[in-house]
Amino acid sequence: MQLINLLIVFVIWFPFLKAMDKLNLAKEKEQAVQNSAAQQNDNSIKM
């Protein structure tokens, strides 16, 4: 019975967790691009 309950909870929550993970991945990629651009600007200023 507990296994069935666990499976039901997993099926209900999985799409939400997947969407949240996708959103966080997009935010991390955006931050990485911004950090990369900032580092390039810093390197060009130092030269």
Looking at the domain assignment, is residue 42 inside a domain? yes
Looking at the domain assignment, is residue 3 inside a domain? no
Give the pLDDT confidence of 1-10 residue by residue, as tens digits. Answer: 999 999 999 9
- A 10 A CB-CB count for 43 gives 9
Give the pLDDT confidence of 16-43 residue by residue, as tens digits. Answer: 999 999 999 999 999 999 998 878 777 7
pTM of the complete model: 0.63
Handedness of CA 34, 31, 39, 36 (dihedral sign): negative
Domain hosting 42: range is: 22-46
Looking at the domain assignment, is residue 16 inside a domain? no
Give the count of domains, the chain.
Answer: 1
